[in-house]
A = this chain, B = another copy of it.
Amino acid sequence: MSKTFSDRLAAAILEKRSHVVLGLDPDYSLLPPEILGTGAGPTPSAEETCEAYRRFILPLLEALREDVVAVKIQAAFFEALGWKGVELFAEAVDEAQRLGYLVIADAKRGDIGNTAEAYARAHLDVVGADALTVNPYFGTDGMEPFLRRTRTEGKGLFVLVKTSNPSSSDLQDLVLADGRLVYEAVGDLVQRWGRDSRGGRGWSAVGAVVGGTHPAQAQQLRRRLPKVPFLIPGYGAQGATASDLQGLFGADRVGAVVNSARAILYAYRTGGKPWLEAAREEAAAMRRALWEVAGRG
């Protein structure tokens, strides 16, 4: 049996002293002019967009190795380019792993059993990501193909619990008859789903997506789910700050990682520095701020 995902994640966090997850959400309209080159139009073909993304992603991955512990690659932005984009998605996963990052395929898949098996195969076996984001709506039998890979192949999952967007309250914050909120009930399921994939420190390989934009709810979830690792989106461009996240990392500092996409990727737009230097500075500042907050317990 492989090392569990939570042990792999903990080792990487402590080695790099970083909780920073780079969100690869490429957006053609925001790419640095140096990447686009001369003659780039506002409506590039899928091939041209893929080529530009490639020129953007590969140097970025090279440059951020010391400050970023994992890369979360957003499947949607690659799917929107057709099969060429899907090919690039797999290439980006390979390249990131070659450079020593853990890779989270951010695909938010979920379905019934045999279909979920195909999604698990697609993202965890064929593309070969280290972890995958999963939607819990189908319940336990739809989770099982993903869970099996946490137990036997060292893979990780981050299940949507409380998402960072304003309308997350529509469904996730509804109050149940037993007093729990829907997202708390989902959190309880996530905790159950992770029982059989705990690592040496007790953290499960089945984590939760918990938006940093809802700090009070995140703190409550941490108390409720003491050994479920959190993947926290919403940092930076979406508004969460390091101090909002104090207490979410656990006593051993390895219970949460924090995603930032636009604030790192497109840092050049606010700082007036060359794009790669701007991205590196932003990631380094985020690393230091989170490391400090995580150390406060």
Contacts and interface: CB of A to CB of B under 8 A. Distances in A.
Interface of A: 25, 27, 74, 76-77, 79-84, 86-87, 90, 108-116, 118-119, 121-123, 126-127, 135-143, 160, 163-172, 174-179, 182, 185-186, 189
Contacts of A74: 115, 118
Given A113-B165, A141-B165, A171 B86 contact: no
B189 A170 contact: yes
A151 B66 CA distance: 47
B160 A137 contact: yes
Nearest to A178: B175
Contacts of A126: 80-82
11 contacts: A76-B122, A79-B86, A80-B121, A80-B122, A80-B126, A82-B86, A112-B165, A135-B137, A136-B171, A138-B168, A177-B177
Contacts of A116: 76
A177 B177 CA distance: 4
Given A115-B25, A137-B135, A137-B137, A122 B79 contact: yes
B80 A119 contact: yes
A160 to B, nearest CB: 6
Contacts of A127: 82
